[in-house]
A and B are shown apart, each in its own frame.
Chain A
Amino acid sequence: MNAASSPPDVPDAEFRVTFGDGAGGFGCRPDERVLLAMERQARTDIPVGCRGGGCGICRVQVVRGPYRTGPMSRRHITAEDAMEGYALACRLYVQGDLVLVRRPAPAASIPARVTT
């Protein structure tokens, strides 16, 4: 789509991001990152960390809807997680209405590295 060809007073078509537990929800522009759309609308549904796929604090699971993802730390989204719809909201690009469940990174359960 060519945004420049849209009349300036018509907002971009928006998809809807909602949560499986029925709480809240917000609009998201096509191919916009979920976390940035949330922040743009001054909402706090998902915790905000690094916004770069590194820290894992914004981990969610997509239970319905089309999306794509950018690079995310494998530590927080394993290949198996990705198959099951887990993603970091900062690297989650919306391609239709989405239903999410918040899934905070299980960092506390990651065993500490063996130290010498």
Chain B
Amino acid sequence: MAMTDVLRPGYLQVRVLDLEEAIVHYRDRIGLDLVEVAPDGRAYLKAYDEFDRHSIVLRQADESGLDVVAFKVSSEAALDALAGRLRNAGITTTTIPEGEQPGVGRRIRFRVPTGHQVELYATIALSDQGPMINNPDLWRTEPRGMRAIRFDHCLLHGQDIDGTAKIFTDILGFATSEVAVTPDGQPIAIFLSCGMKAHDIALVRHHEDGKLHHVSFLLESWSDIGHAADLIAQHNMSLDIGPTRHGATRGQTIYFFDPSGNRNEVFSGGYQFYPDNPTRTWTADQAGKAIFYYEKKLHETFLSVVT
């Protein structure tokens, strides 16, 4: 459950080099439902267990990467209050009018110090294909592909992760669940939660700003991670690493790439986080264990390959 006015990561818009290839990947492999390819050319998708109209937006462009990650807040009044707090902190905000994305209300957009665009919104249409609410079955129709339950979080790379984290903690009310630090105490990775998930967004220090490390989807179980691995093998998808487990957040995981090279994760498990929990800390000499708990070492391109 949410513990702040920010409820959860709501949607993410990612750039893809070929929309048709990307739709096949996100719909047929990850298992999202295609809501529509809108007249604006963007494809809107949602996971079967999400109530809101869409959670993933695909935009064809000549460069892969992240356009924006957006967080749903509890009310229009909360949206106004958060926008005011951003402006009071000297952060420039832009209002995106209702309807710029189908079904989505007014959005407040701002840029964080790591160069990423972040949005807040309170209003989005409910999907007519959301989870059942009267004598509900598990699903309306059996899930496809990797059976993703929801868009869960993303990991972003950039230089001033302290500055970006400060906006999430001091203005948006997130708590720091975990951090990895250099010997002199400089954070190199920061995990932030706005509710009871081990992370709703994560940041890693990197020499380039505005980069996307991965978009993550929740699966039900460790055996579903194995099923995802089977699909990755069967369909010759681009595997990065896994199945394995993270030390940080404890998630059971597998990483792979969409056809445009944007990294995806599907994961299960992880602990429940309360905002009064102490922050867990990883030292640089244990970074391998923090990231890949079984292998206890990083592989060469996991942190350097980003879009």
Interface bits A68-104 vs B (CB < 8 Å: 1, else 0): 0001111100000000000000100000000000000
Which of chain A's residues 47-62 have a Cβ closer than 8 Å to chain B? Answer: 47-55, 57
Contact between A50 and B305, CB atoms less than 8 A apart: yes
Contact between B307 and A55, CB atoms less than 8 A apart: yes
Interface bits B103-138 vs A (CB < 8 Å: 1, else 0): 000000001111100000000000000000000000
Contact between B208 and A52, CB atoms less than 8 A apart: no
Contact between A53 and B115, CB atoms less than 8 A apart: no
Given contacts A71-B17, A108-B207, contact A50 B238 (CB under 8 A): yes
**Which of B115, B262, B304 meets A54, CB within 8 Å?**
B262
Interfacial chain A residues near B304, Cβ < 8 Å: 57
Contact between A115 and B238, CB atoms less than 8 A apart: no
Contact between A115 and B306, CB atoms less than 8 A apart: no
Interface size for B (C-beta < 8 A) is 33
Interfacial chain B residues near A49, Cβ < 8 Å: 261, 301, 305
**Which of B17, B92, B113, B259 meets A73, CB within 8 Å?**
B17
Given contacts A73-B63, A112-B159, A113-B210, contact A52 B301 (CB under 8 A): no
Interfacial chain B residues near A113, Cβ < 8 Å: 115, 209-210
Interfacial chain A residues near B263, Cβ < 8 Å: 50
Q: How far is the CB of A51 from chain B (nearest CB, A)?
A: 4
CB of B260 closer than 8 Å to a CB of A: yes
**In the A-B complex, the 7 residue pairs with the closest CB atoms:** A54-B261, A50-B261, A52-B261, A54-B64, A71-B17, A49-B305, A51-B238
